[in-house]
Amino acid sequence: MASRICVGNLPPRLYDENAIRKMFKEFGEITDISLPGKNSGKKTGLAFVGFPDKSAAASAISKKNGTFAGTVKISVTEARSTVLGKRPAENVGTNPRKMRKQDKVEDPEPDSDAIEKITKNGRLLLRNLAHCCTEDNLRELIGDVATKELRCLMDHQKGICTGIAYVQYAVPDEAVEAFKRLHKSEFMGRYLQILPCDDRKETNEKSARYNTKAMPYVPKSRTDHGSRSWNALFLGGDTVAEVFSKKLEIQKSELLTGNSNLSPIVALSLAEMRILREIREFLLQNNVNIYSFEGDIPRSRKVIIVKNLPHPISGETVKKTFMQFGEVRRFVFNEEFGMTAIIEFTESSAQKAFESMNGAMYKRRPLKLEFAPETIFDKPPSRELINSKIVKKIVRLAKEHLSGDGINVSELIKSTVLITFTTNDVPENYDLRSVFLKQRKNIIGCEVLHEQTPKSGFILYRTSEAAEQVVEDKKVTLSREEILSVEIASEESIIAGERSAYKTLLVRNLPFTVRDDEVRSLMQTVGPLKEIRLPESLTGGKRGFGFVEFANAADVHKALEMFEGVHFSGRRMVIEMTPKTVVSPEDQKKINTFARLYDKERQLKAEIDLMKKICLDLEDAELAILEVDEGKIPFKYGLAFISEKSDDVSSLVEKRQEEAKLKQRNAEIELEKIKTEMSTLRTELYATFGDNISLEADEEN
């Protein structure tokens, strides 16, 4: 379906642009009206009308075709595209034999000169665009390809497109393909004209006063996707201390030296927690999706994050600085805490701002720019939903088995089936895949959630349609006594299942020098605690993680919200719920035994390598002895060398070889025993703690 229509059999009195515009204005904005023959004074009764989108054209055809304009019945049909944008005569009922020569259009070969020019720089000039065309429309036209420039020339007084745009492709061959595909094609009710274009002549007058410093590093925005945590964008440790000390009307040194009952580490963490809560509320009020910074989400071409702004600075100053690059559609900046601003431009303006200001010195500080995630202004999902175990598991499964850009959590939930069991005695190896055999080929992954009450499980399907067909198959549910219900997952059902499990908090990334009383002082600000357990290593230091059990289950979710992204002694805490309440003495003994065996394993491996090296050296010594004809050879006893006969030295070398080989064999036997014991402990510990413990990381270190 085209966005351009053909109106035939118009009476002479309606053969006028204003009359036609009035006739079709109810269907939306009109981008083009063409009246063939009007300039020559001929009223052919034929008109072409263009709309921005196909739906408006379809609506006009369905409602106007076959209607009467006065006493004349008009026809409204889809305009058939031709290379030159002209409609063949047979489309309106004229005799094909009398068709004018110029209406018989053959598809010409692409202009070789134009293609040769485009191949050099990949830059195109687009003309005859609709006045309502925007850069977003152009992006939809060319697709998701890399571009150096995408700019729609605007009449800033009227706020409309001038009908001209420039597109420069990163790969010139893609520009050639676009030229062949789009030249003289229909776009928003008009026929595009595409021409090759010379390189753009840049003028840096406006940005000259912002001297770009030769930075001793490559800006992060050019090397990766940027920040993975929203709070890292807005705060630094010094800013936390400075802002919070102003709020309390005290000196910053008093906060950092710990003149209160709290240690400086705990005081600074609590200060950051309170400030982050205020920033989180500010961002949510401005419709910023703070969860968009997590995971590999594609980056926007229009929204820029400006980091490392000087503090304090007014939002009006920052906005005025970036308005020189184009219209600022949206601006998010907190003057009280800000080191970072979020600015939405048009695509061309965002690219220009990035190229001009990334790395530029601004009030004696180098700015760092990166493009924001595409979903930064999307509605954020529930915090409790994102932190739930089942959502994390289906997201992990989707990343492993599904292709495509980004992960849509809402679609994944719709493709997930929740199964509730009638009994808690569900075996560990219960095969969920065998329950619904008809859709087995569409299963991505499944798991029984033993920690929930009542016991339940989930199956993730490739499509929501497959999940719906499973729920509709009532025969399977009725035929299995152990299954109570089967339903499509929802936000409410997932959260309810999470709350049914008795959980504590697992706190990761703690410093190895952390004390129990420091963690207790920090966590008891949420609510009363039942127990805190910080596992210790063989050397007596902490292992970098701990379990915090609250007296009230409701405080678990409250703590997740309060301490999300908060730093403790310079390290950002990673907090999540876990079904494991505490580390029992037996479990702690297993952890310590594994650590002791690991150290012994390293020693044995080093001893085996040493014995192998000694054997090789002694073999070389034997060969060297054979080359000595007569005389004595110096042989090392302890720290001294004593000359011995060559035959005696050969006997001594052989004896040492046997000793080294015996030590190597004994070490290898002991190493095998240790590996077997470690394998058993590893299986038991992973069965108890799951992902909450990382023994492989210890082995690598």
Query: HEC states along 444-465?
Result: EEEEEECCCCCCEEEEEECCHH
Query: pLDDT, tens digit, for every residue of 512-541?
Result: 888 888 888 888 888 888 888 888 776 667
Query: pLDDT, tens digit, for every residue of 483-511?
Result: 888 888 887 788 777 766 656 788 888 88
Name the more confident of 629 and 240: 629
**What is residue 90's predicted lDDT score, i.e. its pLDDT?**
39
Answer yes or no: is pLDDT of 91 > 50.
no
CA dist 168 and 506 (Å) reads: 51
Query: pLDDT, tens digit, for every residue of 418-464?
Result: 888 877 777 877 888 888 888 888 888 888 887 776 778 888 998 88
Exposure string (b/e) for 360-373, b if CB count within 10 Å is 16 or more? bebeeebbbbbbbb
How many Cα atoms sit within 13 Å of 151 on the Cβ side? 18
Under the banding of pLDDT at 50, 70 and 90, the label for residue 83 is: very low
Give SS3 for 525.
coil
Name the fold adopted by 587-700.
Helix Hairpins (1.10.287)
**What is residue 331's predicted lDDT score, i.e. its pLDDT?**
93
The structure tokens listed for 58 are 């379809």
**What is residue 544's predicted lDDT score, i.e. its pLDDT?**
84
**What is residue 569's predicted lDDT score, i.e. its pLDDT?**
78
The structure tokens listed for 660 are 């080294």
CATH homologous superfamily for the domain 112-196: RRM (RNA recognition motif) domain (3.30.70.330)
Share of the chain above pLDDT 70, in %: 75
φ, ψ at 668 (rounded to 5°): -65, -40
Strand partners, 373: 299
Query: How would you classify residue 30: left for phi > 0, otherwise alpha for psi between -120 and 50, otherwise beta?
Result: beta
In words, the CATH class of domain 383-500 is alpha beta
Q: Which residues lie below 8 Å from residue 57, measured CB to CB, with a gap of 6+? A: 1, 2, 3, 4, 5, 27, 51, 78, 189
- Asked whether the beta carbons of 577 and 560 are under 8 A apart, the reply is yes
Q: Which helix (H) or strand (E) holds 123?
A: strand 123-127
Of the ranges 189-193, 671-675, 680-684, which is most confident?
671-675
- Asked whether the beta carbons of 157 and 106 are under 8 A apart, the reply is no
Strand partners, 109: none
Query: Does the domain at residues 220-373 carry the CATH identifier 3.30.70.330?
Result: yes
Please provide the CATH number assigned to the domain covering 504-583. Answer: 3.30.70.330
Least confident of 109-123, 223-237, 683-697: 223-237
Q: Where does 22-93 show beta strands of DSSP type E? A: 32-34, 47-50, 68-69, 72-73, 75-78
**What is residue 628's predicted lDDT score, i.e. its pLDDT?**
64
Query: pLDDT, tens digit, for every residue of 320-374?
Result: 999 988 889 999 998 877 778 999 998 888 888 998 888 888 888 888 898 988 8
- Asked whether the beta carbons of 651 and 633 are under 8 A apart, the reply is no
Nearest alpha-carbon partner for 167 in 115, 123, 118: 123
- Asked whether the beta carbons of 652 and 680 are under 8 A apart, the reply is no
pTM of the model: 0.52
**Any idea which residue has 């001929």 for tokens?**
42
CA dist 501 and 133 (Å) reads: 54
> What is the average pLDDT value for the chain, to the nearest integer?
77
**What is residue 672's predicted lDDT score, i.e. its pLDDT?**
92
The structure tokens listed for 670 are 């002991």
CA dist 413 and 427 (Å) reads: 25
Least confident of 192-201, 383-392, 655-664: 383-392
* Residue 579 C-alpha from the chain's centroid: 28
The structure tokens listed for 467 are 């999940």
Under DSSP, the state recorded for 187 is: E
**What is residue 322's predicted lDDT score, i.e. its pLDDT?**
92
CATH code 3.30.70.330 region(s) in the chain? 4-103, 112-196, 220-373, 383-500, 504-583
Query: pLDDT, tens digit, for every residue of 299-317?
Result: 888 899 998 888 778 889 9
Q: Which residues lie below 8 Å from residue 208, measured CB to CB, with a gap of 6+? A: none
Q: Give domain 4-103's CATH architecture.
A: 2-Layer Sandwich (3.30)
Give SS3 for 358.
coil
Nearest alpha-carbon partner for 134 in 317, 381, 327, 311: 327
CA dist 525 and 523 (Å) reads: 5
Q: Which residues lie below 8 Å from residue 164, measured CB to CB, with a gap of 6+? A: 125, 126, 127, 129, 152, 153
Share of the chain above pLDDT 90, in %: 5
